[in-house]
């Protein structure tokens, strides 16, 4: 039966009378270490009705992913195990099943999709083969039938050209398509329960929108119950009927989504919701006046990467990562670049700090980049610094953090060893760490602390511009909020300008003075925060903002046409280049590109 309901608001309410399909009772998961058992998840209970969506929300380390692995019977032995409690699937206790019995349940009655679809798919098998195999693992049907079922499943997830996808390999598909394939695989056997562990976290916001819509439609058609595990309160409010908020292995609050968002009982839930950045209309703090001198200015900057092919490995294609980007970053302002993955925003960051060669003119603090002597390059380093997305990757794991933060001073021969140590200690205290921690190694810190270490290192040379490349994207919301506060305080204190690169529109709105929206290597819209968020003009900007999940269950999403198209590729054969998008000035520095075609 097809339910005719409003397709744009939250999912339909589950019938109250239906027996629960899954019951978790007093679940405790323990880890064995040093001969002792320590609970990681304690006494978690919930029930899931047919066709219902329950969200488990929490920050990293809250035990939400462990819970999903326990339900799947995938806890890595021997260290982790379910030490107490029961998991009942249609009255059958999963914790007491043998591995071989569990295998008939897994994928068949309970299916799971993971955050990163690339690692969940086998890279050397075609999509069709993997889908057919997944079906044949549980149903005794012929290969031909399985192929037909696989094709059907691909059609159900509204993937473009499903016949062609059957013969393709995972790397030939985009992230969004791969996640669709994972969903097709999970739902091909019509499981009772689908566990989605951060299913859209690795996806761009517009793709996320499509995948979430798809999950909701499929759930309606098939009556599958969904356990949605996410850290994103926006996704929670749009998808779930009930929410469990977890913290350090315990459910701190549980209830209907509206109640959690409107009247949270526990202080942790309130703090969590307060830390979530929200998107508004760009009003609020006034944008800075435009009198300041530019600290960095880019004119017609292009970055292209060669793709070699053929026997003689000559250049056949080029990736036009950045095309004719011109912008100015004023002293002491926060300039944000937003856009989806592959739009070239990170490439601009790398070009600005001299990590990738570019064409066009980049001027930073009076230095013109490109063709510089290494000594000039070194003095440029003092004026522009970068903070990367993943602090663990950006810190040499074999060095003490004190040495790491002091290294820029050492490289530029500033001060004596004692002075340097004193200055590093001062920097540590400034970013909210203690000087006792100088002799530790990066792995001994939490993610938020590591990002503070990276910020301290960037500050060491007192730069005029700090490039923050997705610097808060990998952090939990509460940690993210504190790091953003720190960045804002440093800006006031030292007059540093930021080039803030992010895909998260809500974060960008909260911290930016001016914003530029990038699409396919070019800027399509640029202006003050109020201009961009209050009066977006370019269709891509509008689409990007409409796609952001809103952490408010009462929010009614205006009907937006469903998009199933693919993001076009920035790869062109040699000799061809994308059309240049001229920017029109709408007044007061609000620049917009003409939309070439309906996007």
CB nearer to another protein: pick between 166 and 380: 380
Which residue, 18 or 410, has its beta carbon nearer to another protein? 410
Q: Are 575 and 350 in contact (CB under 8 A)?
A: no
Strand partners, 57: 230, 245
Least distance (Å) between residue 441 CB and another protein: 5
* In the complex, minimum distance from the CB of residue 436 to another protein, in angstroms, rounded to a whole number: 8
What is the number of helices (H) and of strands (E) in the chain?
21, 23
- CA–CA distance, 186 with 46 (Å, rounded to integer): 23
Q: Environment class of residue 77 by beta-carbon count within 10 Å: exposed (0-12), middle (13-18) or buried (19+)?
A: exposed
Rounded-to-integer distance, Cα 501 and Cα 512, Å: 10
Nearer CB in complex with another protein: 216/350: 350
Neighbours of 347 (CB within 10 A): 23
Residue with tokens 């012929």: 142
Q: How far is the CB of 358 from another protein (least distance, A)?
A: 15
Nearer to another protein, 386 or 517 (CB): 386
Q: How far apart are CA 463 and CA 461, in angstroms?
A: 6
Question: Alpha helix (H) ranges present in 253-400?
Answer: 257-262, 267-275, 345-352, 374-381, 391-394
Residue (331 or 461) nearer to another protein, CB:
461
CB of 474 to another protein, least distance (A): 12
Give the strand order in the sheet containing 314-330: 367-368, 359-364, 294-309, 314-330, 571-573
d(CA 258, CA 273) in angstroms, rounded, equals: 13
Contact residues: another protein, CB under 8 A:
350, 353-355, 374, 377-378, 381-382, 385-386, 388, 390, 393-400, 407-408, 411-412, 439-441, 443-444, 454, 457, 461
The DSSP element (H or E) to which 599 belongs, if any, is none
Of 454 and 517, nearer to another protein (C-beta) is 454
CB closer to another protein out of 69 and 399:
399
Residue pair 500/511 in contact (Cβ under 8 Å)? The answer is yes
Output 1 or 311, the one with its CB closest to another protein. 311
Residue 272 has phi, psi (to 5 degrees) of: -60, -45
* Number of Cβ within a 10 Å radius of residue 329: 24
The CA-based diameter of the chain, rounded to the nearest angstrom, is 77
Closest CB 462 distance from another protein, rounded Å: 13
Q: Pick the closest to residue 444 from 503, 399, 382 (CA basis).
A: 399
Query: In whole angstroms, what is the distance from residue 556 CA to residue 92 CA?
Result: 39
C-beta of 350 vs 514, nearer to another protein: 350
Cβ nearer to another protein, comparing 105 with 438: 438
CB 279 within 8 A of CB 533: yes
Minimum CB separation from another protein for residue 541, in Å? Answer: 30
Question: What is the C-alpha to C-alpha distance for residues 379 and 366, in angstroms, rounded to an integer?
Answer: 11
Q: At its nearest, how many Å lie between another protein and the CB of residue 379? A: 8
Provide the minimum distance between the beta carbon of 243 and another protein in the complex, in angstroms, as a whole number: 35
Q: Are strands 465-469 and 384-387 parallel, antiparallel or unpaired?
A: parallel
For residues 84 and 58, the answer to whether their CB atoms sit within 8 Å is no
% helix, strand, coil for the chain, step of 5: 35, 25, 40
Nearest distance, CB of residue 566 and another protein, angstroms? 28
Kindly state the smallest distance separating residue 196's Cβ from another protein, in Å. 29
CB-CB contact of 349 with 343 (8 Å): no
Q: CB neighbours (10 Å) of residue 281?
A: 12
- Backbone CA torsion sign across 505, 511, 515, 516: negative
301 vs 465 by CB, closer to another protein: 465
CB of 83 to another protein, least distance (A): 23
Q: Please, which residue, 178 or 450, has the CB nearer to another protein?
A: 450
Query: Does an H or E element contain 165, and which?
Result: helix 162-166
Cα(99)–Cα(142) distance, integer angstroms: 26
Least CB distance to another protein at residue 396 (A) = 5
Cβ-based nearer residue to another protein, 399 or 586: 399
Write down the least CB distance from residue 342 to another protein, Å. Answer: 18
As given in the structure block, the two tokens for residue 446 are 């939490």
């Amino acid at each position: 039966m097809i339910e005719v309901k409003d397709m744009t608001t939250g999912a339909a309410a589950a019938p109250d009378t239906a027996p629960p399909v899954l019951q978790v009772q007093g679940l405790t998961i323990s880890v064995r270490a040093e001969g002792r058992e320590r609970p990681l998840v304690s006494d978690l209970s919930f029930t899931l009705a047919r066709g219902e969506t329950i969200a488990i929300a929490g920050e990293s380390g809250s035990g939400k992913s462990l819970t999903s692995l326990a339900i799947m019977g995938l806890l890595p032995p021997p260290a982790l195990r379910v030490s107490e409690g029961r998991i009942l699937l249609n009255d059958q206790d999963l914790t007491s099943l043998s591995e071989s019995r569990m295998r008939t349940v897994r994928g068949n009655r309970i299916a799971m999709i993971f955050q990163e679809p690339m690692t969940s798919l086998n890279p050397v098998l075609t999509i069709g083969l993997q889908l057919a195999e997944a079906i044949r693992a549980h149903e005794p049907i012929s290969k031909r039938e399985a192929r037909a079922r696989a094709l059907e499943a691909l059609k159900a997830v509204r993937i473009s050209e499903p016949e062609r996808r059957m013969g393709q390999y995972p790397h030939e598909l985009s992230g969004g398509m791969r996640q669709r394939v994972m969903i097709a695989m999970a739902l091909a056997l019509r499981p009772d329960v689908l566990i989605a562990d951060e299913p859209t976290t690795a996806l761009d916001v517009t793709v996320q929108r499509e995948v979430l819509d798809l999950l909701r439609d499929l759930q309606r058609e098939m009556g599958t119950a969904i356990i949605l595990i996410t850290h994103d309160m926006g996704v929670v409010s749009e998808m779930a009927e009930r929410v469990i908020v977890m913290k350090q292995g315990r459910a701190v609050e549980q209830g209907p989504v509206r109640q959690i968002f409107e009247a949270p009982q526990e202080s942790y839930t309130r703090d969590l919701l307060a830390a979530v950045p929200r998107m508004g209309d760009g009003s609020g703090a006034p944008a800075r006046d435009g009198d300041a001198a530019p600290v960095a200015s880019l004119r017609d900057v292009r970055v292209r990467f060669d793709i070699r092919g053929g026997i003689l490995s000559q250049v056949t294609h080029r990736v036009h990562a950045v095309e004719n980007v011109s912008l100015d970053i004023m002293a002491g302002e926060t300039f944000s670049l937003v856009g989806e993955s592959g739009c070239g925003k990170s490439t601009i960051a790398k070009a600005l700090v001299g990590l990738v060669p570019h064409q066009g003119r980049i001027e930073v603090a009076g230095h013109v980049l490109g063709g510089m002597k290494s000594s000039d390059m070194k003095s440029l380093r003092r004026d522009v610094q970068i903070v990367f997305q993943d602090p663990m990757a950006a810190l040499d794991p074999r060095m003490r953090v004190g040495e790491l933060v002091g290294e820029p001073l050492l490289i530029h021969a500033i001060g004596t060893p004692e002075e340097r140590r004193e200055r590093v200690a001062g920097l540590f205290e400034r970013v909210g760490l203690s000087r006792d921690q100088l002799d530790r190694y990066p792995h001994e810190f939490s993610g938020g602390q590591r990002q503070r270490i990276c910020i301290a290192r960037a500050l060491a040379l007192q730069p005029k511009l700090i490039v923050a490349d997705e610097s808060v994207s990998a952090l939990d919301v509460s940690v993210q909020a504190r790091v953003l506060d720190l960045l804002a305080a440093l800006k006031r204190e030292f007059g540093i300008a930021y080039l803030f690169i992010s895909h998260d529109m809500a974060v960008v709105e909260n911290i930016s003075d001016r914003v530029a929206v990038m699409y396919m290597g070019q800027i399509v819209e640029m202006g003050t925060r109020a201009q961009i968020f209050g009066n977006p003009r370019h269709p891509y900007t509008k689409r990007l903002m409409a796609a952001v999940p809103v952490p408010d269950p009462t929010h009614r999403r205006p009907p937006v046409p469903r998009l199933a198209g693919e993001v076009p590729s920035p790869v062109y054969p040699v000799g061809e280049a994308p059309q240049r998008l001229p920017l029109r000035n709408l007044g007061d520095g609000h620049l917009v590109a003409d939309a070439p075609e309906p996007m």
